[in-house]
Amino acid sequence: MSCILLLPFKIKIMLTVVITFFWLSILLYILLGGADFGAGILELFSGKANADRTRKLTYHTIGPVWEANHMWLIIAVVILFVAFPKIYAAFSTYMHLPVLLMLGGIIARGTAFIFRHYDAYKHDRSQNLYNLIFMASSLFTPFILGMIGGAMISHSIDVEGKHFADIFIRPWITPFSISTGILSSIICTFLAATYLIGEAKEEATKNYFRKKGFRSSCLIFFWGGIALITGKITDVPLLGNMIRSYWSIAAVLLAGISLAYYWFIIGRSNKWRLRLTAGAVVTFIMAAAGVVVHPEIITFSHGAGMDLYTYAAEPKTIRALGWALILGSIFILPGVAHLIISFQVKD
């Protein structure tokens, strides 16, 4: 953290801009792309009639924008590669196996979504295969993404390991990483159910997604606690650091208040208030963990870590990237907003 104090003021500003865009892109990928994954998870854990209803509504809702949602992940990766190349090198080295699994899940899910939607034969066996791939990859991908996040902040990466498994496998299959993977999938389900409430036309369908939204929100509360307890048992310092941080405590309290408000309005509020509340719940959950981790983005078992200030690129690179992000957002973000709004299903 002291490294940023040595930088010129203008570079501090641009580095702050770059880091802000980095965290925002990750958050937006979870809020928007996560809801896409959650639609497949809802379909997976529904009976046939409800699965068909979810599938039909999913086509109308995410069909026009599902590919655009991966833009946020691409932006995060590009920022990491350009602005923090040493962190990117460490990440892509020690997390290359789960990253490959995650990318495989994204590709399989997108391929299955397209084929089952545009296949000329809608009632043959291939449809069953496409449906299975879509639903399984919708659950698998955010689970792996959560495991990667858990591994990066849990001081489990052993750079001095003697065997391949010690360095490249065990860090992301710890109990804490598995618990964060499950929590990630639950969050995606919660977001999808909430978004689909506003897209449904029939009241029975709305009520179905309200039940799913309520149950998944309760699971977030329950499994969030499980993840923290698991981390405490396995000596992950996250819980202790959260307790000592006023910002983290405030974020947890705000997440709890938002969740309680969500339960209060789920049966009677308009779709945008409900969506904003669900987004606030997830945002505050991410913030509670993020404020105690930041600026470290990857940690090692021997106690050291790599932070976004110490391992930033050259000032001229940061300056160029900062301006590119600012100017690019001016042109891109209005277009993305227009795309999402244009393809809303009308009530």
Residues 6+ apart with CB under 8 A from 45: none
The owner of tokens 């449809």 is 127
- In tens, the pLDDT along 158-200 reads 888 888 998 999 999 999 999 999 999 999 999 999 988 888 8
Residue 62 falls inside a structural domain: yes
Report pTM.
0.90
Res 347: pLDDT: 44
Based on the number of CB atoms within 10 Å of its own CB, is 53 exposed (0-12), middle (13-18) or buried (19 or more)? buried
Answer whether residue 223 is part of any domain: yes
- pLDDT reported for residue 287: 93
Average pLDDT over all residues of the chain: 87
The residue ranking higher by pLDDT, 14 or 116, is 14
Q: What is the pLDDT of residue 240?
A: 82
Q: Does residue 101 surpass a pLDDT of 90?
A: yes
Residue 117 domain boundaries: 2-342
Predicted confidence at residue 324, as pLDDT, reads 94
Q: Report whether pLDDT(295) > 90.
A: no
For residue 335, give both structure tokens. 């277009």
d(CA 216, CA 182): 12
Neighbours of 215 (CB within 10 A): 13
Distance from the Cα of residue 143 to its chain's centroid:
10
pLDDT of residue 2: 46
Over residues 11-65, the pLDDT tens digits come to: 788 999 999 999 999 999 999 888 889 988 998 888 777 777 777 777 666 655 5
Per-residue CA distances from 197 to 113, 178, 202, 270, 342 (Å): 21, 29, 10, 9, 18
Model confidence band, residue 140 (pLDDT cutoffs 50, 70, 90): very high
Q: How far is CA 39 from the centre of its chain?
A: 14
pLDDT tens track for 240-291: 888 888 999 999 999 999 999 999 999 876 888 999 999 999 999 999 988 8
- E strand or H helix at 297: strand 296-299
In a domain, 347, yes or no: no
Q: Report percent pLDDT > 90 for the chain.
A: 53
Question: What's the CA gap between 65 and 342, in Å, rounded?
Answer: 10
Which amino acid, one-letter code, is at 161? G
Please answer whether residues 16 and 115 qualify as being in contact, where contact means their C-beta atoms are separated by less than 8 angstroms: no
In a domain, 154, yes or no: yes
- The 10s digit of each residue's pLDDT in 302-343 is 777 899 988 999 999 999 999 999 998 898 888 777 766 666
Q: How many domains does the chain have?
A: 1
Could you tell me which residues come within 8 angstroms of residue 216 by beta carbon, excluding any fewer than 6 positions away? 186, 189, 190, 193
Per-residue model confidence (pLDDT) at position 121: 61
- Strand pairing partners for 296? 307
The stretch 122-133 carries a mean pLDDT of 80
Q: What is the DSSP letter of 64?
A: T
Between CA 58 and CA 64 the distance in angstroms is 10
Q: Give the pLDDT score at 78.
A: 95
Q: Is 161 exposed, middle or buried (0-12, 13-18, 19+ CB in 10 A)?
A: middle
Token couple for 103: 């990318």
Report the distance separating Cα 135 and Cα 37, nearest Å.
Answer: 9
